[in-house]
Amino acid sequence: MMQILIGYMGSGKSTVGKVLAKNNNLMFIDFDDYIVEKENLSIPEIFKLKGEIYFRRKETEYLTELLSQKPEAVISLGGGTPCFGNNMEVVLEATPNVFYLKLSVDKLEERLQKEKAQRPLIKDIADKELSEFIRKHLFERNFYYLKSHHIISVANETPEEIATKISEKLA
């Protein structure tokens, strides 16, 4: 069974995905790590050396490759992955188990403030402008995120509690 987690950066896809995979005796695949392995460069290095357009093209190529293998796994996608090309359609066709981890802007800002240096899209945004950036970005991306089969609203639950919510909805 393949389960795919999507959501904005900082929504907990990787953390929850690891718990979900363990609970269901599945492999865990962090799609960003998959790209890093294929490209032999970190995500920030790819953005810096080759640009976002190159990254998005390769992301689509690798997504199609990975999903065509139909791995028995929990896969956490990058925050932007569903929002480019026909990626969301490819994801929705691959499995009936696509989950959007939905957090409030305030919660995302709180989490991302601590991780800015490791996030290419926000590393140069001033702290006082982060909330506005997230709001605008989320508004643009929600069109894709909301196509998910399941929307999991996340507030202050632990990764284990979120994984339980997801397991209860598995097709």
Burial 123-143 (b: 16+ CB within 10 A, else e): eebeeeebbebbeebbeebee
Considering only the C-alpha atoms of the chain, give the largest distance between any 2 of them, rounded to a whole number of Å: 43
Residue 136 marked ligand-binding: no
If you count them, how many residues does the chain have? 171
Q: Is 78 known to sit in a ligand binding site?
A: no
Is 7 labelled as part of a ligand binding site? no
* Residue 111 labelled as part of a binding site: no
Ligand-binding annotation for 12, yes or no, is yes
Is 15 flagged in the annotation as binding?
yes
The answer to whether 148 is annotated as binding is no
Residue type present at position 153:
S
| Residue 100: closest CA among 137, 53, 143 | 143
Q: Is 57 annotated as a binding residue?
A: no
Q: Is 13 annotated as a binding residue?
A: yes
Q: Annotated binding site for Mg(2+): which residue ranges?
A: 14
Binding residues: 10-15, 32, 56, 79, 119, 141
Annotated binding site for substrate: 32, 56, 79, 141
* Known binding positions for ATP: 10-15, 119
